[in-house]
Amino acid sequence: MTTIDLNAAAREILKANGRGGYTVPNGRVYPFQWNWDSAFVALGFDTFDRPRAWTEVETLFRAQWDDGFLPHIVFWKDDPGYFPGASVWATGKEPVTSGITQPPVAATVVRKLWKSAAEADEADHYRPRLEALFPKLFAWHRWFAAYRDPDRRGVVVATHPWETGRDNSPEWDVPSEVIDVSNVGDYVRRDTSHLDSKMRPTKLEYDRYLALVQFGRATGWDHARIAAENPFRVADVGMSMILLRANRDLAALAEELGRSEESEEIRGWIQLAERGIDWLWHDELSAWCSRDTLTGRFSGHITSASFLSFYAGLADAGRDAATRAHFDRIAGLVDYLMPSLDPADPGFQMIRYWRGPVWAVVNYMIGTGLAEADDRERAEKVRQDTLELMRRNGFYEAYSPVDGTGSGGDDFSWTAAIWLTWAKGI
């Protein structure tokens, strides 16, 4: 397909996956609104339908809880083809939502939407919408500070592998071993009836996911208790980098709106994170990786999230050089960057979900960070690899880094959105 055809196809996917005010990641496998998917989808809409881009984010925030929490799934309409659905989460909210969150990319996206509106001379028109969204974004980030970093380390402590957005990354294997699955009971998975089970997490992984959902539900989704007692509490390098970045963008928005008190509070979070994130640098590996807060153990795995330090705005000559060296080494091992797990890792599997495949959205963040750090060459390499995967195979959920085969669902919203955003340039 030519670029023109691909642009049209990508727009069609976003429209077809639209459900009036929000977009499902993929109608068959993921029939609800997902948190970080919607944020990336908004970037795609912004290339051809600005009002719709803002609506996508606004709809997501309509599901925000009073304490600032923003759920990872909003079950606007029931769909029996999905498990675990609304009744399993049982959060008792209206609209019904899940009880965990997802990587906070929304503030970064909203800043981008705002910039694009200003460049199109529409700042006056969008300022009220920005003013309405800002306190919601701020409340969510404050919730992160309170409940996902209870020890004030300056990192994000995920309480469920799904919260990280990198659901079955091997980073969660060892920390998950303590999860008691003896009371999970019987259940029927739906993901493996839509997709080849070779691509999906195993039964043991799934039991653990459900045990954590049951734990949260038993607390009545009490975020303070979950922060203090949840059996899984892992400082996720991906979310930590993403929140640091998002806080920088939120601070810029606060200043734009003349909110000096909020801006000062956000600056405090940024300073804490800039120091605290050191805890996630693994000296022996010379890489960024996640770390279990319960044992202090590093995951010891290099993943696509290890390359988000540039996106987070961190700069340290030694660590950056080491990160670039891993980037170049991995580029020599696969045809397409950036695999979700280092191909030299014994656990690498080219089509099993977050144990190998490439995700366009992660590439987008890696490439954006590298471009901002003035590493044009590597930024362009990630971007071109991403676009080439889509040109060859269409808009899949993920792709094999080895031969580019699409994996997971097809006609995937955030993949199409990244095409629209990136085909134009970084």
**Nearest Cα to Cα of residue 56 among 68, 69, 74, 30:** 74
- Letters for 111-150 (x = contact with ligand GLC by CB under 6 A, - = none) are ----------------------------------------
Site for ligand GLC contains 175 (CB under 6 A): no
Residues recorded for the chain: 426
Nearer to ligand GLC, 266 or 416 (CB): 416
Nearer to ligand GLC, 209 or 327 (CB): 209
Residue 15 beta carbon to ligand GLC: minimum distance, rounded to whole angstroms: 18
Q: Enter the tokens of residue 71.
A: 């759920």
CA dihedral 341, 343, 344, 347 (to 10 degrees): 60
Residues with catalytic annotation?
Answer: 167, 397
Site for ligand GLC contains 356 (CB under 6 A): no
Which range of residues in 34-42, 47-55, 170-178, 218-226 is near ligand GLC by CB under 6 A? 34-42
Site for ligand GLC contains 89 (CB under 6 A): no
Pairing of the two strands 157-158 and 73-74:
unpaired
Residue 416 beta carbon to ligand GLC: minimum distance, rounded to whole angstroms: 12
Site for ligand GLC contains 401 (CB under 6 A): no
What is the DSSP code string of 239-291? HHHHHHHHHHHHHHHHHHTT-HHHHHHHHHHHHHHHHHGGGGEETTTTEE--E
Site for ligand GLC contains 82 (CB under 6 A): no
Residue 62 beta carbon to ligand GLC: minimum distance, rounded to whole angstroms: 19
Which range of residues in 31-39, 125-133, 253-261, 313-321 is near ligand GLC by CB under 6 A? 31-39
Site for ligand GLC contains 167 (CB under 6 A): yes
Nearer to ligand GLC, 25 or 170 (CB): 25
HSE at residue 257, side-chain half, CA atoms within 13 A, is 23
d(CA 316, CA 121): 37
Nearer to ligand GLC, 25 or 175 (CB): 25
CB 153 within 8 A of CB 269: no
Matching residue, tokens 């000096």: 260
Residue 102 beta carbon to ligand GLC: minimum distance, rounded to whole angstroms: 6
Residue 178 beta carbon to ligand GLC: minimum distance, rounded to whole angstroms: 22
**Nearest Cα to Cα of residue 386 among 4, 6, 71, 114:** 6
Per CB under 6 A, the list member of 18, 31, 37, 382 interacting with ligand GLC is 37
CA 17 from centre of chain: 19
**Nearest Cα to Cα of residue 241 among 167, 166, 183:** 166
Identity at 86, one-letter amino acid code: A
Residue 37 beta carbon to ligand GLC: minimum distance, rounded to whole angstroms: 5
Site for ligand GLC contains 165 (CB under 6 A): yes
Per CB under 6 A, the list member of 22, 32, 36, 138 interacting with ligand GLC is 36
Site for ligand GLC contains 61 (CB under 6 A): no
SS3 helix, strand, coil % of the chain, rounded to 5?
55, 5, 40
Which range of residues in 33-41, 112-120, 147-155, 280-288 is near ligand GLC by CB under 6 A? 33-41
CA quadruple 213, 406, 104, 417: dihedral sign: negative
Per CB under 6 A, the list member of 7, 11, 23, 30 interacting with ligand GLC is 30
CB 242 within 8 A of CB 105: yes
d(CA 386, CA 240): 24
Nearer to ligand GLC, 167 or 173 (CB): 167
Site for ligand GLC contains 31 (CB under 6 A): no
Site for ligand GLC contains 298 (CB under 6 A): no
Q: Which stretch of DSSP H or E encloses residue 399?
A: strand 398-399
Residue 253 beta carbon to ligand GLC: minimum distance, rounded to whole angstroms: 24
Site for ligand GLC contains 25 (CB under 6 A): yes
Helix (H, G, I), strand (E, B) or coil at 403: coil
Site for ligand GLC contains 44 (CB under 6 A): no
For the chain, count helices (H), then strands (E): 16, 9
Per CB under 6 A, the list member of 34, 206, 215, 399 interacting with ligand GLC is 34
Residue 125 beta carbon to ligand GLC: minimum distance, rounded to whole angstroms: 31
**Nearest Cα to Cα of residue 293 among 233, 228, 243, 340:** 233
Site for ligand GLC contains 76 (CB under 6 A): no
Residues that bind ligand GLC (CB under 6 A): 25, 30, 34, 36-37, 165, 167
